[in-house]
Amino acid sequence: MRTIQVGDITEHIKEMCIEANHFLTEDMKSALQNACEKEEALLGRQILNQLQDNLNIAGTDMIPICQDTGMAVIFVEIGQDVHFEGGNLEDAINEGVRRGYVEGFLRKSVVKDPLIRENTKDNTPAIIHYEIVPGDKVKITVAPKGFGSENMSRVFMLKPADGIEGVKNAILTAVKDAGPNACPPMVVGVGIGGTFEKCAIMAKKALTRPVNEHSEIPYVKELEEELLEKINASGIGPGGLGGTTTALAVNINTYPTHIAGLPVAINICCHVNRHSVRMI
Amino acid sequence: MEQHITAPLSKQEAAKLKSGDYVYITGTIYTARDAAHKRMFEALQNNEPLPMEMKDNIIYYMGPSPARDGRPIGSAGPTTASRMDKYAPSLLDLGLCGMIGKGKRSQEVSDAIVRNGAVYFAAVGGAGALLSKSIISSEVIAYDDLGTEAIRKLEVKDFPVIVVIDKDGNNLYETAITAYNKE
Domains and CATH numbers, chain A: 2-20+65-145 (3.30.360), 148-273 (no CATH)
pLDDT of residue B80: 97
Residues of B in contact with A235 (CB under 8 A): 176-182
pLDDT of residue B183: 82
pLDDT of residue A49: 97
Distance from CA of A133 to the nearest CA of B (A): 35
pLDDT of residue A32: 97
| ipTM (interface pTM) | 0.94
pLDDT of residue A106: 98
Residues of B in contact with A57 (CB under 8 A): 129-130, 133
Nearest CA in chain A to B19: A241
- What mean pLDDT do residues B88-105 have? 97
Q: Do B79 and A68 touch (CB under 8 A)?
A: yes
CB pairs under 8 A between A and B: 168
3-state secondary structure of B45: helix
CB A263 within 8 A of CB A190: no
pLDDT of residue A259: 98
Per run of 10 residues, the mean pLDDT along chain A (length 280 residues) is 97 98 97 96 96 97 97 98 98 98 97 95 98 98 96 98 98 97 97 98 98 97 98 97 97 98 98 97
Distance from CA of A93 to the nearest CA of B (A): 22
Q: Could you confirm whether B4 is annotated as catalytic? A: no
B23-77, pLDDT tens digit by residue? 999 999 999 999 999 999 999 999 999 999 999 999 999 999 999 999 999 999 9
pTM: 0.95
Q: What is the mean pLDDT of chain B?
A: 97
Q: Which residues of B44-79 are buried (b: 16+ CB within 10 A; e: fewer)?
A: beeeeebbbebebbbbbbbbbbbbeeebebbbbbbb
Closest CA to A61 of B140, B67, B159, B148: B67
- What are phi and psi for residue B178, nearest 5 degrees? -65, -30
pLDDT of residue B135: 98
Distance CA B64, CA B78 (A): 9
Q: Do A67 and B124 touch (CB under 8 A)?
A: no
A141, A146, A151, A154: CA torsion to nearest 10: -20
* Band (B182; pLDDT cuts 50, 70, 90): confident
